[in-house]
Structures are given as C-alpha cells and as structure tokens.
Amino acid sequence: MTIAPARPAAPAQETTSGPFGASIPRREDLRLAAGDGRYLDDIGHQALAAAFLRSPHAHARVRDIDVSGALEVDGLVAVYTYEDLDGRVAEPLPLLIPHPSLHAPRTAYPLANGIVRHVGEPVVMVVARDRYLAEDAVDRVIVDWEPLPAVVGLPAAFEARHAVHADVPDNVAAHMVQTVGDAPAAIGAAPYTMDLTLEIERSASMPLEGKGVLARWDADDRSLRVYSSTQTSTSVRFALAAKLDLPVDRVEVVTPDVGGGFGVKIVHPWPEEVLVAWAALRLGREVKWVEDRREHFISSAHERGQLHTVKVGFDADGHILGLDVRFLHDNGAYIPYGIIVPIISSTQLLGPYKLGAYRVEFHSMYTNTVIVTPYRGAGRPHGVFVMERVMDALADRLGLDRAEVRRRNMIGPDEMPYDQGMIFQDGRPLIYDTGDFPETLRRALAMVDWSGFQAVRDAARAEGRRVGIGVAAYVEGTGVGPYEGAHVRVDTTGDVVVATGLTTQGQGHETAFAQIAAQELGVPVERVKVTTGDTRRFKYGVGTFASRAAVMSGNAVAAAAGKVRAKALRIAAQALGADLTELVLSDGEIAVRGFGPDGPRIALATVAVLANPLRYAFDEEAKRATQFAGPPSDGPPVPEGEEPGLEATGWYSPIRTTFANGAHAVIVETDPETAEIRILRYCVVHDCGRMINPMIVEGQVHGGVAQGVGGALYERMVYDPDGQLLNASFMDFLMPYASEVPHIEIDHLASPSPLNPLGVKGIGEAGLIPGHAVIASAVEDAEGFRIDRMPISPSELFDLRRRHAAGEVPPLHRSSKEGREDIG
C-alpha cells in the first residue's frame, strides 16, 4: 500500500457575490506570495540592533558582570544590566492570568536580578550599530557565575530535593482539584477498574519567524511606536505603557506581517519587548531586536510534559462510571501565563463523553527550564491523549471494538447542549452547545474503512508488513471571550476599510474578515481592506489564540458591518425617496427593487459622502453627491443619535465558549525490523460550524495535523539533568519536512454555533489536538502492546519491542491468542 498521492487542489474560485462560505484566494497573498511582506526585520533598517547575553546555566547566581570588554567593540552604543533598569522596568514581568489555585506565582525580571533560573534567561542587553557587532559585544561581557543545583524533569521537581525558587521549596506553583460527582466512590463501586500511567511530552510552537521588536520614540511628539511580532498588540500596548510609565494614548503597537505564532507569541510582554522600548526611549534612537533561532529555543516558551496517573471504573459494557486523574504539569522556571494549559487539560480531557463521575487534580511544577505557555492545542492534546488511551485500554480489556466503546460513552446529539459540570478556562461553565459526536466519529470510521481493516491487516501480514489502525475523538472549546471589536467604514471611494484589534499570523484574516464585510455590505471582496493588530486603527482587543479569531472578530466585523449596512440603507432611502423595505444592496450599490438597471440607485460611495455633511467637496464623489442633497430640513445636519460618516464599531462578547469537535483516524505501518513508523493514511473529520472560507479552514487543519505528526513522532525538547537543552537547533529538533507528513483526507460536518450570529466555531487548533492520541492508538494496534508515552521514535519503539519480547511489557488482550478485537 503506498501513500495516496496528493491531489492538486481545485483552483480557488473568484467570486464577487455571496463571498461568505466561498474558497476565494487570499487578499494578503498578493503581497506575501510576491515576497512583499513586511515582517519585523524587514522594517527599521536604520535601527540600532540589540542582542542579549543569556544564561548558559540552568540555575546560577550572578556574582559579577564585567562589561568593560564590550565597551571596546566598534559600533557599541550601550550595555545594560539589571542595575541600569529603573521604574517599573525593574520590577518582575506581570502575571497575566492569576488564579486562586495558582498559589505561588513567580515571574522573571526583564534582565536577571542576581539569579538565573533557566538556560537562556537574559542577563545583559547590548545595543550596537548592527547585530554582528552586538553579538561581538555580547561575547566580550564576562559574567562571574555561581552555579546552583538544577531541577529538571517532573520527578525531580516533585521530589524537591532542590528548589527552583528559594521561597517555593516544594516547587509547586499551583494545585487544583476539580470534581464532578464522587469519582473515587464510583470507581470503588465499579465492577471493573483499571490503572494507567500516561506520559505525554509536547513540543513547541516553533514558528519559522522568531520574535522581534522594533521601537521608535518620537521625541517631538513624545510618543512611542512599537512594532512587535506578537499575537496581541492591544495588550502589549497596555503592558508597555504601564511599564514605561507613559500615557496609553502616547503608545501605539503595530503588528507587522508575522511569520507564524502558534501560541508562543501570545505571551507578553517579553523581556525584550520591555527592554527594547525602554532602550529606545533612553537612547532617543530606533532600536530593533530580531530573535535568532537559538534564542527562540532557549528563551521563548515550550509546552512540555505532563505525567498522568489515572484510575478508571467501568462496567461490562464499557461505560465509564468514574475517572480519577492526577497529573503533574511542568511549567518551567516561571509562570507568567498562569495555569491555562493544565486547566484546559483538566477540562478538555472529558472530550465528547459523558462520564459517571470525574475528579481531576494537578500540581503545576517549577523546573529550571524554559517557561511553558500555550502551544497550539494548549493542553488539549494532553487531555485527549489521556482520555483516548483510557478508551482504547477499556476496549481491549473488555474485548470490545474501540470505536464501539467510544460510541457507548458519547454524548448524543439529542443530549445537547450538555453541561459537563465544570468551569472552563474562561471562567464560564463547560457546556457543549452543538455537535453530533457520534456522526463525526461515524464519518471518520467510514473514511478510513475501519470495519474493513482486518482484511487490510491480513493482506499486509501476508507480505511481511505490519500495519495498525487508530482512532481518536475530541471536543474543542473555541471562541473564548472576553470580547473582540471591529470598525467598518465605507470610504468615499467606495472602498470598505475594516479594522479589528486582534492579530494575524497566517490565518488569512485579511480575506476571511473581508468576506464577512463584503457579504454584509454587498460589495466585491476586492474593495474591502482589512487591518489587524494595529492599535492606531483599533485599540481594544484581546488577541489571537484559542481558535477564537473567526468567532470573535468575525462576529464583531459582522456586527459593525451590519450597523453600517443599516445606516447606508437609511441614508439611501432618504436620498432615493424610497421605503427601506424596497431597497436592495449589491455590488456596491443600493437600488430600488424591481426597477432594473436604469432604475433609481445610489452608489455606496455616494452614501458615504452623504453620511458626512461637509461644507467642502474634495473629490468627484463629493461633487456627485450634491444631486442627492434633497430639500433643506429643519433638523440638524447630523441627526440626534447619529454620527458623521458611513462607519460603525461592533463588538462580540460571548456568554461562553462554543464547542467544535472532530475525530481522526489513522493507519500506520511499522517496519518489523527497523521499527520505523510511517503513516499510510490520515483521515480527519471535523465540525467547526459554518465556514467562512473552506480553503482557509482546510489549510488550518493541514497545518495542525502536520504539527500533530511532528509532535507524536519527531519533536521533543531534550534537557539533560543539568538543564542544558541538548537540541536547540533545527538539526536536532526535528520538525517534519514534506516527507514526514502524509496526505491528509478531510471531511467536514457543520453544526452551527447558536452562541454567535454567524454560527461559526474556531478551527485553528483542531488539526493538532488528537495527534498524539490517534497515532499512539494506531501504533499500539500495529504492535500489539500498550503505548503509554508519547512521542515515540523508532529507537524507542525498538526498545519497547525488546521489553515486550522479554515479558516486561504485556501484550494487548486482543493480541494474545485468546483475545481479538470485536470490530462492530
């Protein structure tokens, strides 16, 4: 069986009517595909360059810093240590998301204040004429270190022989318990119980473009403009204004084109964001910092391991009566982003299932490693891995089909909306709104031909080949609040200008949001210009993360466009002397229904002019508008309750998260000799409600699946016991090339969301969420023994095989002579 060849995608359709739901080619590609993007390092060519001396030790005291050597480097402009920092810049970086269970939060200083807690922590900042010289200067700085014992890995953290923070001797940053019913009792009373220990190591966002900051202080204007490769310019603005003690109105943050984020760029303010802006102010010069790849590995963020101890009680039919999960979560040296990741693991672990009772407890632990913050999936992959391994284990124990066990535990469509009885990461109840989980699963199984697999397995075996099939289902909370907003304006040129506060890292927002506005306003998509992530254009927002942009800004754009549409119709009705109900808005014009092409009509551009009664006519459109002036009225030119201009601001603030769902099914082949693992088929069924642009949606799924494959089979951050990151380069941190990513087959379901007017749900993370789970399921099926730890490499599989052959790893029940999987 060969990997199915990729079909060339059908060329995207150009369409000028009903753009919502169409796979139109992206507006931003006219720029990006031409190589005309403006990423952070493409701007600010005259800026000074910053570089950092970063800790080579995982844990150490900084006894002395000698910068004299650096001062001799030609082109050096400034060297800064912690002692140079002033005001709030000298304070620890903020704790972005406090939580009652986060009882020992610790964040870093922008430059180490006498102590470093992970390899890569910034200690000295150098500013020089260019990056080459800045690095030369960094090399000349001599630091006198006193190494301290490093705490690496969850067992060491939990054992707590040494502490990452002296005042947190047990290394526990947070401890949280959530319960639904009485799981221990339910398990105690259950006819069957099982214990599992599961370990899942994740990876890191690793966008192709690292972080970067460019700061420009305008002394004449006393204003600061900062460009940052961030996922939240609106929030960076507030953070910097606070840190630098500037009025918020004097700070603007602009997101340039961003070369990927995947979560890592939501953290803010990074030390470098604060320091580069601060240096720009002090020096009165533009300062730019462009993170290099090594820096990204050792001073950005990862999302790493969780170690789960699970107890499950179930009945003979495979119904889960009680589930008790306890886990350790590695949050790295500091915890600026709070405990979002383990909370999401805890809550999304439930998946599309209804359990009898559930108890989940976690300890979030400090270690002397890079901080852990959300990476696409944000804790869901951990939770899904646990639940799906439990399902497979149950099925095997009872001799039931793995899909059947899932069906029996699944929430049915008639039970929706379903309240899981927990509080989600947004502080709101975890209530699944819409979705047909059994149908999603059924389609995935049909696509991969689950019931026909035994024949495939037999045929492969006859050829001496080993194959396995796996399945995993998940639920994903998307469109988390608190809100997003958008501003829509029709210019007198007829162009529609849209701005929203959140940001873009490749998701096609310039197109998707244009489609929404174009649909609402009846204009061609090409006339709509969208700006994201620029506080000069829109100041309020939260950011792009948690698969929320389409839901949040999509609905905000729709709301704003809706207001603009209503106003345009009102003005047009008056200008045309028609009734509102008689008007039709399409192709940039408002016409009276039933009159044909020569009937009364007015261009949207003209309406825009009329909306802003001016004494002066600046352009042709304005002159043309005078014919619609109408008879003079007694009222004010701008009526009560109205505003000048054909523009409006709209908001969307959800009562709670809307839930997408999906199921993946995978066929793998393992080489009986070399233990290499190859994915033969990768099938995805997902449901994200209504799709704005199906081509963009599929692209998001593709990218997520590739990261899921990477995370399951190739990517792992390897720390040695001293806290050195052993694979801090692309040579040894293995992101998949095209040869490692299989052809991906996708089917969609659409259960519109009842929680927002557009009926959309998020899709950004879907492709990734069940990756570890489904691949573990398939490899286990191929090999005949339990896979409890992911990721897995051929070397590790080889080792498991040997231990299995030696009797140390028990076989699956269905692999032994007596057992077999009763595929339904």
Partner 1 sequence: MAEATHPVELTVNGIPHTLAVPARRLLADSLRHDLGLTGTHLGCEHGVCGACTVLLDGEPVRSCLLFTVTVDGQEVTTMEGCRAADGGLGPVQRAFRECHGLQCGFCTPGFVTTVTAYLRDNPDPTAEEAREAIGGNLCRCTGYQNIVASVQRAAEILRAEARRAPRGDDRARDERGGAEAKPAPRAEAS
Partner 2 sequence: MKPPVFAYHRPASLDEALATLADLGGDAKVLAGGQSLVPVLNMRLAAPAALVDINKLAELSFVHTHDHLVRVGALARHARTERDEAAFAALPLLRQATRQVAHPTIRNRGTTVGSIVHADPAAEMPAVLLLCGGSVELASAVGDGQRGTASGRREVAAADFFLGPLDSDVRPGELAVAASFPVPTGRCGSAWLEVSRRAGDYALCGVGVLAALDADSRVRRLLAAYISVGPTPVLVDLTEAVAGQVFDAADLSSAAALAQARIEPDDDIHATADYRRHLAGVLTRRAAAEALARAGEA
Question: Which residues touch 581 (CB under 8 Å, ≥6 apart)?
Answer: none
- The residue whose two tokens read 């692209």 is 699
Question: Is there binding between residue 722 and partner 1 (CB under 8 A)?
Answer: no
Q: Which is nearer to partner 1, 135 or 404 (CB)?
A: 135
Question: Is there binding between residue 12 and partner 1 (CB under 8 A)?
Answer: yes
Q: Which is nearer to partner 2, 297 or 474 (CB)?
A: 297
Q: Are 356 and 367 in contact (CB under 8 A)?
A: no
Question: Is there binding between residue 69 and partner 1 (CB under 8 A)?
Answer: no
DSSP, collapsed to helix, strand or coil, labels residue 619 as coil
Locate the DSSP E strands across 278-319: 287-290, 306-314
Query: What is the per-residue binding string for partner 1 in 72-111, x denoting contact by CB under 8 A?
Result: --xx------------------------------------
CB of 120 to partner 1, least distance (A): 16
CB of 713 to partner 2, least distance (A): 9
Taking the CA atoms of the chain, what radius of gyration do you get in angstroms? 29
Beta-strand relationship, 677-687 and 658-670: antiparallel
Q: Which of the ranges 120-128, 495-503, 700-708, 797-805 carries the binding residues for partner 1, by CB under 8 A?
A: 700-708
Phi, psi of 34 (to 5 degrees): -90, -5
CB of 135 to partner 2, least distance (A): 5
CB of 732 to partner 1, least distance (A): 10
Question: Is there binding between residue 802 and partner 1 (CB under 8 A)?
Answer: no
Own/partner pairs, 282-286, CB within 8 angstroms, 24+ separation: 282/78, 283/48, 283/77, 283/78, 283/127, 284/217, 284/219, 285/47, 285/48, 285/77, 286/44, 286/46, 286/47, 286/48, 286/214, 286/215, 286/216
Q: Are 532 and 255 in contact (CB under 8 A)?
A: yes
Burial class (CB in 10 A: 0-12, 13-18, 19+), 372: buried
Q: Which is nearer to partner 2, 139 or 747 (CB)?
A: 139
CB of 233 to partner 1, least distance (A): 16
CB of 332 to partner 2, least distance (A): 20
Of 623, 743, 802, 820, the one binding partner 1 by CB under 8 A: 743
706 touches, from partner 1, partner 2, none (C-beta below 5 to 8 Å by class)? partner 1
Question: Is there binding between residue 45 and partner 1 (CB under 8 A)?
Answer: yes
793 touches, from partner 1, partner 2, none (C-beta below 5 to 8 Å by class)? partner 2
Locate the DSSP E strands across 453-550: 466-478, 484-490, 496-500, 528-532
794 touches, from partner 1, partner 2, none (C-beta below 5 to 8 Å by class)? partner 2
DSSP state letter for 822: B
CA separation for the pair 687, 649 (Å, rounded): 30
CB of 13 to partner 1, least distance (A): 10
CA distances 824 to 87, 336, 682, 821, Å, are: 67, 48, 21, 9
349 residue type, one letter: L
CB of 790 to partner 1, least distance (A): 19
CB of 262 to partner 1, least distance (A): 7
Tell me, rounded to whole angstroms, the distance of Cα 743 from its chain centroid.
23
Of 217, 262, 278, 385, the one binding partner 1 by CB under 8 A: 262
Locate the DSSP E strands across 491-527: 496-500
764 CB-side CA count, 13 A: 28
Query: Which residues contribute to the site for partner 2 (CB under 8 A)?
Result: 131-132, 135-136, 139, 292-294, 673-676, 714, 718, 726-727, 729, 731-732, 734, 736-737, 739-740, 793-795, 798-799, 802
CA separation for the pair 357, 308 (Å, rounded): 18
Question: Is there binding between residue 545 and partner 1 (CB under 8 A)?
Answer: no
CA separation for the pair 387, 381 (Å, rounded): 10
Of 88, 293, 428, 563, the one binding partner 1 by CB under 8 A: 293
CB of 676 to partner 2, least distance (A): 7
DSSP, collapsed to helix, strand or coil, labels residue 515 as helix
Q: Are 226 and 277 in contact (CB under 8 A)?
A: yes
DSSP, collapsed to helix, strand or coil, labels residue 616 as coil
CB of 725 to partner 2, least distance (A): 11
Of 37, 149, 399, 438, the one binding partner 1 by CB under 8 A: 37
675 touches, from partner 1, partner 2, none (C-beta below 5 to 8 Å by class)? partner 2
Question: Is there binding between residue 29 and partner 1 (CB under 8 A)?
Answer: yes
483 touches, from partner 1, partner 2, none (C-beta below 5 to 8 Å by class)? none
615 touches, from partner 1, partner 2, none (C-beta below 5 to 8 Å by class)? none
Name the site residues for partner 1 (rule: CB under 8 A). Answer: 5-9, 11-12, 25-26, 28-30, 32-39, 41-42, 45, 74-75, 132, 206-209, 257-260, 262, 292-293, 505-508, 695-696, 698-699, 701-707, 729-731, 735, 737-739, 741, 743-744, 767
